């Protein structure tokens, strides 16, 4: 049966409509797919642009940090007379940014010159997108209180408005229009932003990179920003601070209740160690032994850290923020290691003159090969007679000898009666809280007597005795030689044990002063120490220690692990020479222990054998008072940090 023409036409129209609808739907689907593809590609390109920009910022940061680490130029700030290295924008030229005016060569920079131009990274470093372009690549010193220019079309320079040139309570735009806020000059040093204390402060720099990559619909641009921070602090912020690797392998229980920080790697292989505060490291953390420590072997146990506060990797804090030249390649004898801080300046330009502790001291006391004493004040003027000469020489006894078993022989000591220095302060017009000692004949063999017999030694040391009471304004003793602290120090007398809790480190009525002792190495001799018995054995009979308390920051060196030896670890940063275990003697300590160098004179390796020492019960407490005050003298650390900020422009 045939369909009529009307029926056939209707069917055809329906078919056409269906096909058209399907085509529309297919077109919509295709357009949607293309849109999704474009969006997806744009997102990938944006992420790629950000990744390339991040790589450029890493290059900026590495160069910014390295320029600062090799820069020794000082300027004064109102942070208690502190000196610090500080650079303006015009010290950070890049391949794309010439801030001007051209900086002069930086004093004490190694080599002495303006910093090198910071190069753009090679495009071969980013092979995923070789056709990217960079339109901005720069570092700008900033005021942490900058105001951003809100006006349309404001340039990058306009956006960084410095408020310290004038006060303005109007809108930011009106303040800018009236000249109360102006762009920060490229030659202006950035102002400091302070933390809770005057020695905790930072300087900020804004790093900027703009990267564009091609996409289906034109370029995608990512504008990426990071804030670089140079942060200063005191080493006294830590219960224990190490510039080098830090090891803890104590045989007895050791608890440290303050922050611990090492610029190197951290090795702890014993459950005898307990941390009660933060622990930071800049290298690696290993629950085990250092590969340089071939003394320890056997089973490893886990230390104890605060709940939810394991060791964390952090940026290193360098002394003064500097990398001191360790290989003497520049020919200078004044910048060979951080040990320079405690050494006398040598001939020629002294790159560290502003922070060298010899130069910071009110008095310098030097002992020569024949035990002659030379005294100069902070200006270098010789003190040859008068009240100050008599006070200082009256507190000094030269040519005393002890046997230091760790050092493998006799040591000639210069003994300082601290009580006589303290009682004669009114006779010391140049006193500023820092006093410097050096037996300059260290390394030279001399013949002297011990127990009536002649002995020969090239070893030297400075001993502090009768130091229970210190000046209320604080006291810092610095020595180029190893230091021996004998008896209680900064306690006001013999402190009570507080029924075994050791939480009373001073006698009643005495307020412990802000104190530090800085030397090539730090040795502790108990109040029971006898010079005469120092060469007698066994130590269980002749060198039995009594409980001793020291309240002071201690800065010294170590003999690193290696060649079959163990450094002694943080538990033996202070060195012992007595039997502390026979009468259950304790070493109670309040302060901050700081390791900055390898010892140059106290080079005897640690030895755990019982003929050298037997460990005390150790009650170590971080001196929390260092949060509000510090010992006399300038000793700082600095870290270089970065924070990321970014935004996109389509």
Instruction: Tell me the pLDDT tens digit for each residue of 471-488.
Output: 999 999 999 999 999 999
> 240-242 and 260-262 as β-strands: parallel, antiparallel, unpaired?
parallel
Exposed/middle/buried for 34, CB within 10 Å: 0-12, 13-18, 19+? exposed
What does the alpha-carbon distance between residue 616 and residue 252 come to, in Å, rounded to a whole number? 9
Kindly report, residue by residue over 636-645, the tens digit of the pLDDT. Answer: 899 999 987 6
Residues in Cβ contact with 156 at an 8 Å cutoff, skipping those fewer than 6 apart: 136, 138, 140, 208
pLDDT in tens, 5-37: 556 666 666 666 666 666 655 555 555 555 444
Q: Measured between alpha carbons, how far is residue 496 from residues 188, 369, 501, 547 in Å?
A: 55, 41, 10, 10
Rounded CA gap, 437 and 416, in Å?
A: 9
Rounding to the nearest 10 degrees, give the CA dihedral for residues 372, 378, 383, 387: -110
Give percent of the chain with pLDDT exceeding 70.
85
Strands 460-465 and 396-404: unpaired
68 with 108: CB under 8 angstroms?
A: no
Rounded to an integer, what is the distance from CA 618 to the centroid of its chain? Answer: 26
Tell me what pLDDT residue 82 has: 45
Counting DSSP H helices and E strands in the chain, the numbers are 7, 37
pLDDT > 90 fraction of the chain, expressed in percent and rounded: 66
Structure tokens at 481: 């030689």
Contact between 257 and 276 under an 8 Å Cβ cutoff? The reply is yes
DSSP string, 73-106: --EE-TTTT-EE----GGG--BTTB--SSPPPPP
Q: What is the pLDDT of residue 101?
A: 82
Mean pLDDT of the residues in the chain = 88
Higher pLDDT, 618 or 5: 618
Q: What is the mean pLDDT of residues 84-112?
A: 79
What single-letter DSSP state applies at residue 422?
H
Q: In the predicted model, what is the mean pLDDT of residues 546-551?
A: 97
Q: How far apart are CA 29 and CA 640, in angstroms?
A: 53
Are the C-beta atoms of 606 and 405 separated by less than 8 Å? no
Is residue 206 predicted with pLDDT exceeding 70? yes
pTM of the shown model: 0.89
Q: What pLDDT does 24 receive?
A: 59
């Amino acid at each position: 049966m045939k369909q009529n023409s009307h029926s056939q036409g209707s069917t055809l129209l329906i078919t056409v409509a269906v096909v058209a609808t399907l085509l529309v739907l297919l077109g919509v689907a295709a357009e949607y797919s293309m849109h999704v593809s474009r969006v997806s590609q744009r997102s990938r390109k944006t992420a790629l642009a950000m990744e390339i920009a991040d790589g450029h910022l890493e290059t900026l940061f590495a160069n910014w940090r390295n320029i600062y680490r090799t820069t020794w130029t000082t300027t004064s700030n109102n942070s208690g007379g502190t000196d610090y290295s500080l650079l303006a924008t015009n010290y950070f030229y890049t391949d794309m940014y010439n801030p001007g005016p051209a900086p002069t060569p930086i004093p004490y920079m190694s080599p002495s010159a303006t910093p090198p131009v910071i190069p753009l990274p090679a495009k071969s470093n980013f092979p995923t997108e070789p056709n990217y372009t960079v339109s901005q690549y720069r570092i700008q010193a900033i005021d942490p209180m900058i105001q951003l220019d809100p006006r349309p079309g404001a340039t990058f320079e306009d956006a960084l408005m410095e408020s310290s040139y004038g006060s303005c309570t109007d809108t930011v735009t009106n303040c800018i229009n009236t000249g109360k806020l102006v762009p920060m000059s490229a030659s202006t040093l950035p102002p400091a932003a302070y933390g809770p204390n005057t020695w905790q402060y930072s300087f900020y720099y804004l790093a900027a990179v703009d990267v564009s990559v091609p996409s289906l619909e034109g370029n995608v641009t990512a504008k990426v920003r990071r804030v670089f921070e140079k942060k200063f602090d005191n080493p006294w912020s830590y219960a224990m601070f190490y510039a080098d690797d830090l090891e803890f392998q104590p045989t007895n229980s050791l608890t440290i209740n303050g922050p611990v920080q090492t610029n190197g790697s951290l090795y702890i292989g014993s459950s005898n160690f307990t941390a009660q505060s933060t622990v930071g490291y800049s290298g690696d953390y290993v629950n085990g032994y250092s590969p340089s420590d071939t003394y320890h072997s056997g089973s490893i146990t886990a230390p104890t850290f605060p709940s939810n506060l394991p060791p964390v990797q952090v940026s290193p804090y360098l002394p003064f923020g500097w990398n001191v030249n360790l290989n003497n390649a520049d020919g200078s004898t004044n910048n060979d290691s951080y040990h320079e801080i405690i050494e006398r300046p040598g001939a020629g330009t002294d790159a560290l003159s502003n922070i060298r502790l010899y130069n910071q001291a009110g008095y310098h006391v030097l002992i020569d090969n024949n035990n002659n004493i030379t005294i100069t004040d902070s200006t270098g003027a010789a003190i040859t007679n008068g009240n100050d000469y008599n006070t200082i020489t009256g507190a000094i006894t030269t040519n005393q000898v002890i046997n230091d078993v760790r050092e493998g022989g006799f040591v000639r000591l210069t003994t300082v009666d601290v009580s006589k220095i303290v009682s004669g302060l009114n006779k010391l017009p140049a006193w500023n809280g820092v006093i410097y000692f050096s037996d300059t004949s260290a390394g030279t063999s001399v013949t002297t007597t011990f127990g009536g017999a002649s002995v020969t030694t090239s070893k030297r040391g400075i001993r502090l005795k009768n130091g229970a009471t210190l000046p209320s304004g604080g006291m810092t003793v610095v020595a180029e030689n190893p230091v021996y602290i004998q008896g209680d120090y900064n306690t006001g007398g013999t402190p009570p044990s507080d029924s075994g809790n050791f939480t009373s480190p001073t006698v009643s009525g005495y307020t412990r002063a802000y104190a530090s002792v800085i030397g090539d190495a730090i040795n502790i001799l108990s109040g029971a120490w006898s010079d005469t018995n120092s060469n007698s054995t066994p130590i269980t009979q002749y060198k039995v220690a009594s409980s001793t308390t020291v309240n002071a920051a201690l800065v010294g060196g170590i003999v690193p692990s290696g060649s079959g030896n163990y450094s002694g670890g943080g538990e033996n940063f202070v060195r012992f020479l007595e039997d502390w275990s026979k009468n259950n003697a304790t070493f109670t300590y309040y302060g901050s222990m700081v390791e900055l160098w390898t010892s140059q004179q106290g080079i005897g390796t640690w030895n755990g054998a019982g003929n050298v020492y037997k460990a005390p019960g150790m009650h170590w407490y971080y001196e929390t008072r260092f949060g509000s005050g510090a010992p006399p003298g300038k000793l700082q650390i600095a870290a270089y940090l970065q924070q990321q900020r970014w935004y996109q422009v389509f």
